[in-house]
Structure 1
């Protein structure tokens, strides 16, 4: 079993924590150079996938594109979620704040940070780089301190741990309504992207329009219909 980090924005963090998001789609990089129409997974359990399709360079003869390894792992591997966070002062106790829902973790209640006397170990190398000087109330109110980017979240700070249950390859626009819901798209998100979704003129379920709008809002291009990794997961606590 391997562990790898994965980035989530605030809406997706909330969806994962509410057990509304159980799958994520991430674009395959680089995209196939052939007109790929079929993917097969390596039977050897390496986690690699091979794409194949007709090649214009050979008059349409089918060719393989080569092996692509899913960077998120394979079933049984784990993902730990990175999100926007900050170190804060909880009325004298060191803590971690999470921007997605303003949740705060009191490190003095975390047994792994306590010494043999049950006191907080201020020499713990995990916390030493952080000042814990900003009051939690001031950070959340936006009057003091700063949020740290998700890409800089260390493993010990994360609160989201996921186990991969399935990996497959699909075209982005092949997503179903059920899968769009499993991506964490809800009624509020559908309403949010109702007038801007790139798929709004297509005959699709509202939840798919919501997903298309979400995909576009994070820098993706729905109209390109790229090949994507579809990574299904379940949340675990240890």
Structure 2
């Protein structure tokens, strides 16, 4: 996904709405009294989103510190696979080593399976585009194939990030509520807010 960010293909990410908070809100007396309000709106008003528009995030990635004191990143084209040093996992990356910063532009809630082909592509998934054919019917068929391929690609990507034991509740088939977090690249100088 770091390569997708660097290439400008990833402009959105999805994070689970916390199950405990979601369960409490959707089964609360307030929810029962306001059944005319759609679940999405109720969640957005009462559950805590992980980020807000305007927040600046920094991206952790697999990295190492080389003898001259500079950082090298595994996803970078500057560092081919021939590197023989020790890579450090992204979870241990200090903020000062970050090179990718993202400014949150929108956050909203939706069901995971509501993702469209465009949404799957914005997630940075690699999808083989079906070859379009010259007729109108063929173009419609191509669009239908792309929609299916893009959603399947994203579903596989999503499930690859979920522990097998958690998939019945958090996996693609479970169709959990997620926060859709849209962002744009920004400079280190804009660093502020939550990270």
Return the match for 1:179 from 112, 115, 119: 119
Q: How does 1:18-97 map to 2 (within 5 A)?
A: 18-30=7-19, 32-33=22-23, 34=26, 38-40=39-41, 49-50=44-45, 67-71=46-50, 73-89=51-67, 93-97=68-72
TM-score when normalising by structure 2: 0.70
Instruction: Provide structure 1 residue ranges, at least 5 long, that are not aligned to the other structure.
Output: 1-11, 42-47, 51-66, 105-136, 190-202
For residues 155-186 of structure 1, the C-alpha deviation after alignment (integer angstroms, 9 at most, x for no partner) is 11001101111000000000011111100012
Aligned-residue Cα RMSD (Å) equals 2.8
More strand by share: 1
Shift in alpha-carbon separation, 1:204–1:102, aligned structure 2, 3 A: closer
Q: Is the counterpart of residue 229 in structure 1 residue 172 in structure 2?
A: no
Give secondary structure in 1 for the equivalent of 2:52: coil
Give how far 1:97 is off: 1.1
Distance 2:48 2:180 in 1: 13
More helix by share: 2
The count of aligned residue pairs is: 155
Distance 2:76 2:83 in 1: 14
Point out the structure with max Rg over C-alpha: 1
Distance 2:150 2:120 in 1: 6
Distance 1:216 1:188 in 2: 19
Give secondary structure in 1 for the equivalent of 2:88: coil
Q: Return the structure number with greater relative CO, CA threshold 8 A, min gap 6.
A: 2
TM-score when normalising by structure 1: 0.58
Partner of 1:217: 160
For residues 32-75 of structure 1, the C-alpha deviation after alignment (integer angstroms, 9 at most, x for no partner) is 2247851337xxxxxx833xxxxxxxxxxxxxxxx32112x211
Asked if 1 retains the 8 angstrom alpha-carbon contact of 2:107 and 2:179, the reply is: yes
